[in-house]
Structure 1
Amino acid sequence: VRATAFSVTALPAETTFDAIKDVFLILNNFDIPKGFSREVVKGEIYADYTQLTCARDPQTLKYYYKTYNNQTVKEFDLNSFDSNSKEILVLNTDASKQVFENVNKKLKPTK
């Protein structure tokens, strides 16, 4: 219900970039952090969490995703693949870790 309310009331995006950004902002409301949903089995804790969030642009055949360990949105374009290929391609979505950018040097005094 909340997802519908967010998506119906969001302002129309002017570009595909803005639309995908808005989709991720809406989906962020439903992320499950580690430990929120958990179960203890024989003394060991098992936790559910949002491992991957994805969106797609059906017009351009581009898919976008971010993972629990790296919140940077990544893109892959289905148009760049050979649809006749028999080769199966895989991607380790957890290969890259989140980097926090230090912006201290970008700070400027107010005018």
Structure 2
Amino acid sequence: MGLPGDYTSRGRFLRAAAFVNLSLPSNNVDEGVFHAFHILNAFDIPKGLVTEVTEHGVFNDYTIWTSVGDTKNRDYYFRTYLSPQQCKINIIEALNG
């Protein structure tokens, strides 16, 4: 029958769980971050794909940013809707400024 294919939270969560559990393990942090972003690519919502019409107007749901955390090294990776370029912030360095 396959996995759910819609963009509801439930459908996306079920697909994400399956992708993570069926994917090959990563050999190092860089490969793990790369792998995580590839999995997350399957769940981006483009503008206009999911809309909601309310009495206050039409609202579009879309992926504003995507992020991956490396808890061991305390690095936070993200990319935004406007740029596919990954950015990295070390949480400790950011706090110590």
Residues 1:33 and 2:46 are matched in the alignment: yes
What is the percent sequence identity of the aligned residues?
Answer: 32
* Residue among 9, 19, 25 paired with 1:6: 19
Residue ranges of structure 1 left out of the alignment (5+ in a row)? 86-111
Structure-to-structure mapping, 1:1-111, within 5 angstroms: 1-40=14-53, 45-82=58-95
Q: Deviations over 1:7-62 (max 9, x none)?
A: 11111111101100111111111111100111345795421100011110000000
Matched residues, number: 84
Q: Could you say which structure has the higher strand fraction?
A: 2
1:21 maps to a residue whose letter is F
> Aligned with 1:18: secondary structure?
helix
User: For the structure 1 residues 79 and 45, does the alpha-carbon distance in structure 2 shift closer, same or farther, using more than 3 Å as the test?
Assistant: same
- In the superposition, the TM-score normalised over structure 2's length comes to 0.76
How large is the Cα RMSD of the aligned pairs? Answer: 1.9
Unaligned runs of 5+ in 2: 1-13
Q: Which amino acid aligns with 1:46?
A: F
In 2 relative to 1, CA 65–82 (structure 1 residues): closer, same or farther, beyond 3 Å?
closer
TM-score by length of 1: 0.67
